[in-house]
Amino acid sequence: MSPDTTRLIADFAVARGIPEGFVDTAMVWYVDATALIAARFQQLDRPLLVGISGCQGSGKSTLADLLTTLLSQEKGLRVAQLSLDDFYLGRESRAALGRDVHALFTTRGVPGTHDLDWLQRAIDELLAGSGTVITPKFDKAEDDRTGEDRWHHFGAPVDIVFLEGWCIGIPPQSEGELSAPCNDLEQRLDPDGSWRTQVNHRLQDYQSVFDRLDLLFVLQAPDFDAVARWRFEQEEHLAARRASAGQSSGHAIMDRQQIAQFVQYFQRLTEHGLKVLPALADRVWLLNADRSIDGIWRGSQ
């Protein structure tokens, strides 16, 4: 890879306050993904939808940012990034789900708490439309969708759409896998399995998006125990960013105990994904507990 690529990644890391070692990591492990994307784009001769999947705190957004930078500046491709998190339903809509379907849907996270119709429409418009495509932005500190003045605006069509999120590519579980609670939250608040069954049913609807993926990249956590640690680090960074911007911490900033409770909403499908996603992915980066990369699985491509 050229020295220009190294400088580009170094500038990327400095601009985002990423430790210097990221440059070597990116050069060794991530850069060849841009070649794979560019080759697939030329092969299919049409815009691509590329998924980036990984548990909370695994580095999905940073990877999407890096690949966007490399593809746009080195390959001259037009790229748009969509985060599944931005399509979370607002507090009022989730409260209605909590009343009408199950109380656990009040908390954002699982399939069923996203605006799937808007996500599908945005993908369609970015890949085949024209003009400006507007997508929402979700503020995790406020646990609600932001005002329209902060929404994302993209020019369409684009060559590559990245879709990153914690459950991207994960298929539904079998009925037998739903029978027993997987943690304390399910034991206490979903003893009859109605919530997890409904989540699994809603996940089936997401497959219409996942089936469109031209490539799937996975940041594979070593185990579920890493999730709470990584998610707490995210929360600390979120609080620090708001403080540096002169903003209040937000009512939804969580402490370590609250994080431990929160990640239980994600545990079932996260553990399911750890088992099944490697066989479905084109690239799997195997992460250590400190998020360093232990190896890579290149899939069938």
Phi, psi (deg, nearest 5) at residue 199: -60, -45
Query: Quick check: 99 pLDDT over 80?
Result: yes
User: How large a percentage of the chain has pLDDT more than 90?
Assistant: 83
Phi, psi (deg, nearest 5) at residue 250: 90, 145
Query: Quick check: 170 pLDDT over 90?
Result: yes
- Candidates 257, 88, 249; CA nearest to 167 is 88
How confident is the model over 209-254, as pLDDT tens digits?
A: 999 999 999 999 999 999 888 888 877 666 566 566 666 555 567 7
Locate the domains of the chain by residue range.
3-164+189-296
Beta bridge partners of 161: 49, 80
- Candidates 257, 241, 260; CA nearest to 249 is 241
159, 165, 171, 176 alpha-carbon torsion, rounded to 10°: 180
Helix axes 116-128, 194-210, angle to 10 degrees: 10
Segment among 116-120, 141-145, 168-172 with least mean pLDDT: 141-145
- Candidates 295, 296, 299, 292; CA nearest to 277 is 299
CA–CA separation, 121 vs 34, rounded Å? 26
Helix axes 3-15, 60-74, angle to 10 degrees: 140
CA–CA separation, 273 vs 163, rounded Å? 16
Query: How is domain 3-164+189-296 classified at the CATH fold level?
Result: Rossmann fold (3.40.50)
* Token couple for 67: 């690949």
- Candidates 208, 204, 185, 123; CA nearest to 157 is 123
pTM of the model: 0.93
As a whole number of Å, the end-to-end CA separation of the chain is 21
Strand-by-strand arrangement of the 283-287 sheet: 79-83, 160-165, 48-54, 215-220, 283-287, 293-297
The confidence score (pLDDT) of residue 10 equals: 95
Which residues, in sequence order, are CB contacts of 80 under 8 Å at separation 6+?
126, 133, 154, 156, 158, 160, 161, 162
The confidence score (pLDDT) of residue 245 equals: 62
The confidence score (pLDDT) of residue 228 equals: 83
Residue 201, amino acid: H
Mean pLDDT of the chain: 93
The confidence score (pLDDT) of residue 231 equals: 80
The confidence score (pLDDT) of residue 197 equals: 98
**C-alpha 132: how far from chain center:** 23
How confident is the model over 188-208, as pLDDT tens digits?
A: 999 999 999 999 999 999 999
Residue 114 carries which DSSP code? B
How confident is the model over 31-89, as pLDDT tens digits?
A: 999 999 999 999 999 999 999 999 988 999 999 999 999 999 999 999 999 999 999 99
Predicted confidence band at 124 (pLDDT cuts at 50, 70, 90)? very high
E-strand stretches of 30-170: 48-54, 79-83, 131-135, 138-139, 144-145, 152-156, 160-165
